[in-house]
Amino acid sequence: VETEEKTAPKPQGDWKRRLPQVIIIGIKKGGTRALLTFLNAHPQVVISGKEVHFFDRKYDKGIEWYRKAMPYSYDNQLTIEKTPSYFVTQQVPQRIYRMAPGTKFLLVVREPVARAVSDHAQSLSKGKTTPFEEKAMLDERRCAVDRSWSAIRIGLYSLHLTNWLRYFPRSQFLFVSGENLVANPGQEMEKVQDFLGIQRTLTEKSFVMDETKGFPCLREDQGSVKCLGKNKGRSHKPVDPQIRACLAKFYQPYNEKFYNMTGINFHWED
Ligand code: A3P
C-alpha cells in the first residue's frame, strides 16, 4: 500500500525536496499507515507515500539519494516518511543520529499479542499457511514462546527502545497509542500535532467511523470520505485462549518496562 502524495502546486518560493524532520519508525502493524495518511491531510505536512527503507536497506545509496526520495515541500512544511522496520533494526538510530540528531520520532504502539496476530494475518494474506499457534510456541504444554519468530520479537518494545535511547532523549519521541488511534483518532491526532508544533487542523470532526469495518476514515474537504485500503483492518482468526494467555504472560515484563521507559501506562493487561 501507498498513501497518495499531495499533487504538486506550481513551483514557487522555496519549493524543494528536503530531508525529513520527522520519521514514523514503527511499530509494524501498529497503525503506521493510518497515522501517515491522517498526517498527509494536514497542510503543514508532506509525506513520502512509499516506505523508503533508507536507514535499513538502502543506506549505501547515500544521503542525497534519500533527500531526492522525499516529496517537494515549502519551508514551513514538515517532511515525514515512515518505515516501520527502522524501530527493530540495530544500526538505524546511530545512522539517523549522524544525519540529524534533532529528528523527531513517532512510534505507534499496540498491544503486542494483537500486533503479532495482525503481523501473521499479513503473512497469511501473502500465501503463508502455518497457523499462528504453531509459529508462536516452541512447546505448548510448557507455555514456551518462540521469541526467535519475528512476529514475537518485534513485540519486545522495551528492548528495541533501549537501543534508540542510547542516541536520542525521550523528549524526541511521541508514543502514539494504536488502540486510541482507532477509538479516538481526533484526540490522538491532537497530541501528534502538538508534538510536531503544527496547528490543530485535524480534530474529532475530521474523522468518521466506518461502522462495518470498525475503523475511522478521513472526512475530506468536499464532503467525501477516505478510508484506508482493504489490506488495512483485516479480520483475524481468534487465537486459542490458552496460547493467548501464555503470550500475554510472556510480554508482561517487557510491557511493564516499556511503560516505565515511556512514562505511559498503555493498560494492555486490562
Ligand atoms: P489489521 O489489518 O491487522 O487489523 P500498519 O499500517 O502499521 O501495517 O498497521 C495496520 C493496522 O492498522 C491494521 O491491522 C489495523 O488494525 C490498524 N488501523 C489503525 N487505524 C486504522 C484505520 N483507520 N483503518 C484501517 N486500519 C487501521
ipTM here: 0.99
Q: List residues near ligand 1 (CB under 6 A).
A: 28-34, 84, 118, 121, 181-182, 215-216, 228, 232-234
The pLDDT mean for the chain works out to 96
Q: Average pLDDT in the 6-22 region?
A: 83
Task: Tell me which residue has cell 511493564.
Answer: 256
The pLDDT of residue 118 is: 98
In this predicted structure, which of 17-21, 144-148, 230-234 has the lowest mean pLDDT? 230-234
User: Given a cut of 80, is residue 9 above it in pLDDT?
Assistant: no
Which of the listed residues 25, 27, 33, 212 should we mutate to test ligand 1's pocket, taking the one with most ligand atoms within 8 A of CB?
33
Segment 70-108, tens digit of pLDDT: 999 999 999 999 999 999 999 999 999 999 999 999 999
> What's the CA gap between 57 and 62, in Å, rounded?
11
DSSP three-state, residue 49 = coil
Identity of the amino acid at 36: L
What is the Å distance from ligand 1's center to 182 Cα? Answer: 8
Helix (H) / strand (E) element for 216: namely strand 215-219
